[in-house]
């Protein structure tokens, strides 16, 4: 059965600066979360609150227990702007390696 | 840590455990049309504890997808530990909702793990008995269910120490019934020996850990007195065996404590220290007045006497001593890169260790040991 991880794994690969094959083992811990889960509501006064999972995730994020995928998107935007806004002759020759080894600030 | 948004599983995947008509019903029912499904609502126990709400089926799909997807990731050796705090809804039955649970993602995740793993261990530290999971695997020796829970005039009412499984599964369901006011030290004094023994005699190749946070002190529905550290100690201990681990959420009804608990346990699983003062976050006001991660426990009385805990512990260790060291069905080969069980590497220290075949080696070792010695001697030796 295929759960279709490939798109996500690509992103993760780049994040950890490893542009290797998608199936290679990357890290030891994975975390599953869908932001939709916190929107469901059992009804007024019901003790079960899916919102708690969203609160947990928010706390995990703010403790910086993982580096957000959103940050990665910003790296892309930055690199793209650099590429588009710089005259071609001024671009360093190693621009492509620099995209892949670009160290993110934590 | 890698973060994934689970891909939704199809309805067919849910029917690997649940009955077709129940899953169909969950997909059909909405608050608007529920008036015309009165008979089914009763039959499937949907109504009071398990209400019909908007997007019910998508909600079930979401949390189940995380658990099944996590199990698949473990199967593919892409992770050693997978966390899904949305999952762990352990009360749901084959054709019945129960205790706020509709689809039993724990069972479905274990079924996924069983595709690759010969033996899977399920540990449940929710204050409620993990009845749905126990029932699903009550007659098999490929899944051992271990639950620590409040017992006696408490939902769901099952989980007596004498319920140990049936037929092939006899002695493969372990229940530790507890009274109000369990504290950290008491919990540690029973959890570690029991789980240590389980790991020794059952030697699972994958573990599912349900971390219901309603066993924490001050829970709205729970009546234990565990601190975050006492709760997370279980996670740390299970992690220390280095067996592929799926960590699920579960209960937890005091809104400010659940995120504290699961965040702390995430940090434990990542081997990362976190500050006691909470960082600013979107829900900061929930954590007042102290805004700290660790909260004090209450002074409630612990109704579990030392002698009761000791007696029950010995009773369970005896049950565990009765099981065959390695269950009946022999696995033929393991896949390349099967995570190495620390116990296996110790046995195979002579350099002839073949990683691609470690399961069968281990089985042969155990079978040899079985032939050489009687069961009683083996236990003494260990």
Are B83 and B166 within one domain? yes
Among B53, B81, B262, the residue with its CB nearest the CB of A28 is B81
Are B302 and B353 within one domain? no
Residue B317 belongs to a domain: yes
- pLDDT score at B336: 53
Q: Do B4 and A30 touch (CB under 8 A)?
A: yes
- pLDDT score at B234: 97
Please give the residue of chain A at the shortest CA–CA distance from B339: A28
- The DSSP-derived string for B340-366 is PPHHHHHHTTTS---GGGHHHHHHHHH
**Mean pLDDT of all residues in chain A?**
60
Are B275 and B371 within one domain? no
Mean pLDDT of A44-57: 96
Catalytic residue (one of B91, B117, B128, B231): B91
* Alpha carbon distance B345, B366 (integer Å): 14
Q: How many domains are there within chain B?
A: 2
- Which A-chain residues 65-94 have CB contacts (< 8 A) with chain B? 65-66, 68-69
* Higher pLDDT among residues B179 and A69, named by residue: B179
Query: What percentage of chain B has pLDDT greater than the value 90?
Result: 82
Are B173 and B242 within one domain? yes
**Using 50, 70 and 90 to split pLDDT, how confident is the model at A18?**
very low
Q: Do A51 and B255 touch (CB under 8 A)?
A: yes
Q: Is B53 on the interface with A (CB under 8 A)?
A: yes
Are B215 and B302 within one domain? yes
Are B225 and B355 within one domain? no
Among B82, B258, B270, the residue with its CB nearest the CB of A32 is B82
Give me the CATH number covering residue B155.
3.40.800.20
Q: Is B241 on the interface with A (CB under 8 A)?
A: no
- pLDDT score at B200: 93
Strands ordered across the beta sheet of B81-84: B2-4, A29-32, B81-84, B245-248, B206-210, B120-124, B143-150, B173-178
Residue B39 belongs to a domain: yes
* Alpha carbon distance B92, B45 (integer Å): 10
Residue B363 belongs to a domain: yes
* Higher pLDDT among residues B330 and A28, named by residue: A28
- Residue stretches of chain B with pLDDT short of 70: 326-382
- pLDDT score at B210: 97
Q: Do A5 and B73 touch (CB under 8 A)?
A: yes
* Higher pLDDT among residues A20 and B339, named by residue: B339
Are B365 and B275 within one domain? no
- pLDDT score at B324: 83
**Strand pairing class (B143-150; B120-124):** parallel
Residue A26, sorted as left (phi over 0), alpha (psi -120 to 50) or beta, turns out to be alpha
Residue B329 belongs to a domain: no
- pLDDT score at B288: 87
For residue B371, give its domain range: 342-381
Are B244 and B373 within one domain? no
- pLDDT score at B2: 84
- Top-confidence range, A43-52, A65-74, A95-104, B320-329: A43-52
Q: Is the pLDDT of residue A57 over 50?
A: yes
Residue B295 belongs to a domain: yes
- pLDDT score at A28: 83
Element (H, E) at B315: helix B306-322
* Alpha carbon distance B333, A70 (integer Å): 42
Residue B1 belongs to a domain: no
Q: Do A49 and B255 touch (CB under 8 A)?
A: yes
Are B196 and B288 within one domain? yes
For an interface test with B, the pick among A16, A33, A52, A70 (most B C-beta atoms closer than 10 Å) comes out as A52
- Is there a catalytic annotation at residue B91? yes
Q: Do residues B4 and A32 make contact, with C-beta atoms less than 8 angstroms apart?
A: yes
Q: Is the pLDDT of residue A7 over 60?
A: no
Are B288 and B354 within one domain? no
Are B137 and B31 within one domain? yes
- The DSSP-derived string for B134-147 is HHHTTT-SSEEEEE
Q: Is A21 on the interface with B (CB under 8 A)?
A: no
- pLDDT score at B378: 41
Are B251 and B349 within one domain? no
- pLDDT score at B48: 87
Give pLDDT tens digits for B15-48.
999 999 999 999 999 999 999 999 999 999 999 8
- A57 chain-B contacts, CB cut-off 8 A: 85
Residue B328 belongs to a domain: no
Residue B4 belongs to a domain: no
């Amino acid at each position: 059965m295929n759960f279709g991880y490939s798109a996500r794994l690509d992103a993760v690969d780049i994040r950890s600066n490893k542009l290797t094959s998608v199936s290679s083992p990357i890290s030891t811990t994975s975390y599953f979360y869908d932001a939709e889960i916190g929107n469901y509501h059992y009804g007024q006064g019901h003790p079960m609150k899916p919102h708690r999972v969203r609160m947990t995730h928010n706390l995990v994020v703010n403790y910086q227990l993982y580096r957000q995928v959103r940050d990665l998107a910003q790296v892309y935007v930055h690199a793209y702007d650099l590429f588009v806004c710089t005259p071609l002759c001024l671009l360093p020759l190693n621009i492509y390696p620099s995209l892949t080894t670009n160290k993110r600030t934590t | 840590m890698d973060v994934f948004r689970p891909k939704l599983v199809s309805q067919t995947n849910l029917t690997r455990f649940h009955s077709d008509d129940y899953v169909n019903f969950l997909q059909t029912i909405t608050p608007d049309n529920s008036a015309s499904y009165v008979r089914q609502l009763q039959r499937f126990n949907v109504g009071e504890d398990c209400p019909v709400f908007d997007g019910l089926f998508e909600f079930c799909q979401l949390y189940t997808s995380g658990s099944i997807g996590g199990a698949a990731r473990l199967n593919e050796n892409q992770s050693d530990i997978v966390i899904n705090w949305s999952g762990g809804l352990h009360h749901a039955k084959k054709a019945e909702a129960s205790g706020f649970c509709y689809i039993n993602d724990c069972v479905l995740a274990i079924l996924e793990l069983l595709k690759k793993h010969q033996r899977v261990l399920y540990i449940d530290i929710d204050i409620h008995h993990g009845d749905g999971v126990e029932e699903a695997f009550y007659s098999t020796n490929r899944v051992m269910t271990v639950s620590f829970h409040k017992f006696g005039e408490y939902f769901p009412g099952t989980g007596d120490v004498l319920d140990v499984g049936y037929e092939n599964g006899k002695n493969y369901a372990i229940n530790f019934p507890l009274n109000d006011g369990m504290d950290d030290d008491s919990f540690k004094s029973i959890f570690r020996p029991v789980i240590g023994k389980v790991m020794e005699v059952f030697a699972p190749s994958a573990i599912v850990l349900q971390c219901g946070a309603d066993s924490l002190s001050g829970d709205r529905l729970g009546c234990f007195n565990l601190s975050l550290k006492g709760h997370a100690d279980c996670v740390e201990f299970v992690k220390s065996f280095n067996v592929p681990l799926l960590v699920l959420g579960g209960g937890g009804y005091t809104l400010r404590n659940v995120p504290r608990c699961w965040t702390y346990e995430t940090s434990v699983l990542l081997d990362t220290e976190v500050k006691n003062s909470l960082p600013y976050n979107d829900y900061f006001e929930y954590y007042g007045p102290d805004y700290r991660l660790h909260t004090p426990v209450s002074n409630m009385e612990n109704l579990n006497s030392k002698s009761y805990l000791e007696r029950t512990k010995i009773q369970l260790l005896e049950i565990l001593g009765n099981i065959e060291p390695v269950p009946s069905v022999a696995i033929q080969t393991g896949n390349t890169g099967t995570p190495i069980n620390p116990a296996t590497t110790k046995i195979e220290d002579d350099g002839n260790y073949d990683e691609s075949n470690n399961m069968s080696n281990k089985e042969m070792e155990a079978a040899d040991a079985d032939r050489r010695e009687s069961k009683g001697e083996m236990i003494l030796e260990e």
